[in-house]
């Protein structure tokens, strides 16, 4: 889930100490950038992703009403770890306010025989909604 333009990876996160991550979040934008051997090969932006996540206070995650896994927040509120049947993904929390959430992650792999590298950067923007 996720993608980017307003937040630079090297910028510090914008985290409102009074904001809670618990609640309903509607995705508003996803950005994905792919690199092969350090060169950008693809970039895509979806300005109308169609999903809602619910982060509950008992650390369960629901997507579009279906239980999809669990989550943990780092003590400094800078990272969220999502666990589901596909594995574990750690996202940087780039922004958390009472109305907005931005998550960012990178996936990297290297071919052990060829030495080729692949990287995918993924960022997703959410707005808080009431249900």
In a domain, 7, yes or no: no
Residues 97-128: tens digit of each pLDDT: 999 999 999 999 998 888 899 999 999 999 99
In a domain, 8, yes or no: no
Task: Give the total number of structural domains in the chain.
Answer: 1
Its pTM stands at 0.84
In a domain, 79, yes or no: yes
Q: What is the CATH number of the domain that holds 99?
A: 2.40.128
C-alpha to C-alpha distance for 30 and 124, rounded to whole angstroms: 4
Q: Residues 115, 106: contact at Cβ < 8 Å?
A: no
C-alpha to C-alpha distance for 104 and 114, rounded to whole angstroms: 28
Strand stretches in the chain, DSSP E: 14-15, 23-36, 39-46, 52-55, 60-63, 66-73, 79-84, 87-96, 100-110, 117-129
Cβ contacts of 45 within 8 Å, gap of 6 or more = 3, 5, 29, 30, 31
In a domain, 123, yes or no: yes
In a domain, 103, yes or no: yes
Residues 43-68: tens digit of each pLDDT: 999 999 989 999 999 999 999 999 99
Q: Residues 32, 131: contact at Cβ < 8 Å?
A: no
- Mode of pairing for the β-strands spanning 87-96 and 14-15: parallel
In a domain, 118, yes or no: yes
Q: What is the span of the domain harbouring residue 44?
A: 14-129
In a domain, 67, yes or no: yes
Q: Residues 52, 25: contact at Cβ < 8 Å?
A: yes
In a domain, 6, yes or no: no
Radius of gyration of the chain (CA): 15
């Amino acid at each position: 889930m996720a993608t980017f333009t307003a937040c630079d990876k090297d910028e510090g996160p914008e985290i409102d100490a009074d904001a809670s991550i618990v609640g309903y979040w509607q995705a508003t934008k996803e950005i994905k950038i792919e690199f092969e051997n350090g060169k950008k090969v693809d970039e895509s932006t979806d300005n109308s992703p169609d999903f809602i996540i619910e982060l509950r206070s008992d650390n369960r995650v629901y997507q579009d009403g279906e239980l999809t896994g669990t989550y943990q927040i780092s003590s400094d509120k800078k990272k969220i770890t999502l666990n589901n049947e596909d594995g574990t993904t750690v996202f940087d929390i780039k922004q958390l306010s009472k109305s907005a959430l931005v998550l960012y992650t990178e996936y990297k792999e290297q071919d052990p025989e060829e030495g080729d590298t692949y990287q995918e950067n993924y960022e997703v923007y959410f707005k808080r909604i009431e249900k």
